[in-house]
Chain A
Amino acid sequence: MIFLELFWTFLLIGIFTFGGGYAMLSLIQSEVVTEHAWITAEQFTDIVAISQATPGPVGINTATYVGYTVTHNLGYSEWACVGGSALATFAVVLPSFILVLIICRLYERVKKSDLFRSLMKEIRPVVIGMIAAAAGILITPQNFFHWSSWLLLAGAFISCKFFKVNPIWVIIAGGLIGLAIY
């Protein structure tokens, strides 16, 4: 039953999302692309691109789009795909919803305790590794099929990192260059 599996997978992803949307990309990738092989690495790359160029949290956007694509790839109808995307979005938010409500209840005690704060601090190297892996896994022969792909990578990195260009412009520029030269 694909919908049950989809729900469970995204629930797991939601439970283990420490370090925000980009860390979530790494989890989604390993569960959906590597583990279940529901979508290809290229499809995942495209989904991330669209999620970054669309308003709203990247994690929500990606979960919605992946939920849709997984159901679509398996040959379900359009309405089932809408259901799949709703299910994935709901499942990914549910764990943090429950946890945050518990934290709200214990607000004063959580404020005094340093458990979460020190956990989030110590987990940072793992999160950095996870996000780096999310980028590393996307360096596939299909995504970098031409030497100019590496120039696009370098150009995008430099303009975002050093010239603080908004990612959406960099994505649009990449698309236009692709349209012109390939």
Chain B
Amino acid sequence: MKKVSLWELAAVFSKVGLFTLGGGYAMIPLIDREVVQKRKWMEADEFYDILSIAQSSPGLLAVNISIFAGYRMRGRIGSVAAAIGTALPSFLIILAIALFFAGYRDNVYVDKIFKGIRPVVVALIAVPVVDMIQRSHLNIWRAIVAVATAALIIFLKVSPIYILLVFFACFFCARYVQQRNRQQQKGSEHNEKEGDV
């Protein structure tokens, strides 16, 4: 594999960041085209490997992919370059918009426009919720967890951080018990075999 310059790495991920609306999943085909097909920085297999790990890591998908890919090509400094590349265009664009809008906050027309947009935002956040419910085939317990989470946040103003902490505690306890049971099972099978002999 030829050595990729840090500038090139940052530039390619800036381009990806600049041309994706909605971020995350919309970025995947673009990264695939730029990194795998056009520049041949990595094989398709390697890309799908990175993709699957990035998807099962916490954080923002687009940022995770760029960090993984940067690390694969140039190590730690490469991951910094790729991450900066991904975040910088959005940062600058938002900054420009924020500076511009700061002066127009009380404008009558801007106010009318946002009055029309606000209900739309609620719908746009609701769409992925429905998509996820359809995709994940929730059983009754998982459905209760989802509804309870939403209710706690909306009505009791509980921070999602506490809900996540409780979830982690339950998850790791369940995993520990599961593993101990498995070991005990293995142990008892072993004993039975020994008993037969």
B-binding residues in A (CB < 8 A): 12, 14-18, 20-27, 30-31, 34-35, 42, 45-46, 48-61, 64-65, 68-69, 72, 78, 81-82, 85-86, 89, 93, 95-97, 99-101, 103-104, 107, 110-111, 115-120, 122-139, 143-146, 149-150, 152-157, 160-161, 166-168, 170-171, 173-179, 181-182
Taking each of A12, A57, A116, which has the highest tally of chain B beta carbons within 10 Å of its own beta carbon? A57
6 further interface pairs, Cβ-Cβ under 8 Å (given A55-B20, A104-B79, A125-B143)? A35-B159, A57-B24, A57-B27, A143-B119, A171-B120, A178-B114
Least CB distance from A176 to B in Å reads: 7
- Known A54-B93, A64-B94, A129-B153; contact A12-B161, beta-carbon cutoff 8 A: yes
B83 to chain A: which residues have CB within 8 Å?
A: 93, 97
Max chain A Cβ within 10 angstroms of own Cβ: one of B64, B94, B153: B94
Interface centre among B87, B97, B117, B133, by most chain A C-beta atoms within 10 angstroms, is B117
Give B residues with C-beta under 8 Å from A. 17-24, 27, 49, 53-64, 67-68, 71-72, 76, 79, 83, 86-87, 89-91, 93-95, 97-99, 101-102, 109, 112-133, 136, 138, 142-143, 145-150, 153-154, 157, 159-161, 163-164, 167, 171, 175
B157 to chain A, nearest CB (A): 5
Closest A-B pairs by Cβ, 9 of them: A178-B116, A96-B59, A129-B149, A56-B90, A57-B23, A156-B123, A174-B120, A133-B153, A157-B123
* Nearest A residue to B134, CB-CB: A161
Assess whether B154 is in contact with A60, with CB atoms less than 8 Å apart: no
When C-beta atoms are compared, the residue in chain B nearest to A162 turns out to be B127
Contacts of A146 on B, CB cut-off 8 Å? 115
